[in-house]
Amino acid sequence: MDPFSALTRALTESGARFVVIGAWGANYYAQAGSVVFETRDRDLFLPPDPGNLLRAWSACETVGFSLWAESDPLDIPRDRWLAEQIVERKALVRATDGRGLDVDLTLVMAGFDFETVWRERRTFVADGVEVPVARLRHIVESKAAAGRVKDRLFLATHAEALRDLLGREQ
């Protein structure tokens, strides 16, 4: 099983709530022969809930991922107080397997609150593991709201890919 599947399975088994967002999330909607997006990191959107964050951290460590805050290892002990500080600051924690797979545990999705995204999520299966994924519409609207250079590039490429895909189907 690939490390990302192992991680998502561990998260689900821990009871942590999360949804895959960003360009990686958009890949789940790819059709055969259409464009998929290579991205350096993968984004998981989590609710602003310290208890949920603790479950997520523990799941990451269980499958061998180390946790980082910016360029430093996440403080120890990884307890409720620390989780509350992270939630209060809406800080990003990165889980890495040390072999090139980086997974961002984010509490922020531009333009959206967690419950809206969670309520309308799709649950796909990859490698035998159920993966909660944000609606494609939420992903692209969030990219537009963020408006960074990489988001604009994504939207331009994605729009062209959909035009090609739907044009071929007609």
Interaction of residue 2 with other proteins, rule CB under 8 A = yes
Is 168 near other proteins (CB under 8 A)?
A: no
DSSP 46-86: --S-HHHHHHHHHHHHHTT-EEEETTEEPPSS--HHHHHHH
Closest CB to other proteins among residues 115, 164: 164
Separation CA 87–CA 36 (nearest Å): 32
28-87 positions binding other proteins, by CB under 8 A: 28-32, 36, 38
What is the number of H-type helices and E-type strands within the chain?
A: 7, 8
Residues 116-145 that bind other proteins (CB under 8 A): 122-128, 131, 135-137, 140-141, 143-145
Which CB sits closer to other proteins, 1 or 85? 1
What does R_g of the chain's alpha carbons equal in angstroms?
A: 16
The answer to the question of residue 110 lying near other proteins (CB under 8 A) is no
